Structure 1
Amino acid sequence: MESFFSLLQKDVLHRRSWATRDELRFAIVSWIERTYHRRRRQARLGGLTPVEYGAVMNKQVALAA
């Protein structure tokens, strides 16, 4: 959990000043959905990130075709 918050601070909170809480909230949610979840390893995907898993699956589909 500590690494999540340190990444959040480095990538979102300390990059600029936020005029409203709504702007900051939107930036945090966007960062989580666009960046963090794409890089985080998922147990359900065999320890791969979603991007790595997608590459493996696309390769398997291409070989099967």
Structure 2
Amino acid sequence: MPLALEPGSLVTISFPFTDLTAVKRRPALILIVQGEDLVVCGVTSKISRHRDAIPLDDRGMAE
């Protein structure tokens, strides 16, 4: 049975390395589903200082 892909679902997808020489399976959060197209956001447990990073904690998370 195919998996239902919907916003809020966590999936693993192949993310390319920056030099595009290889890919690695990484977790991602589905943001938008339009037909066969998805918009996803990478998820990591590594703390980032990147200006676009959004830190999360377990407050307000569904159990």
TM-score bracket for this pair, using the shorter chain length: under 0.3
TM-score when scaled to structure 1?
Answer: 0.27
Give the structure with the higher percent helix: 1
Q: Which entry has the higher C-alpha Rg, 1 or 2?
A: 1
Return the structure number with greater relative CO, CA threshold 8 A, min gap 6: 2
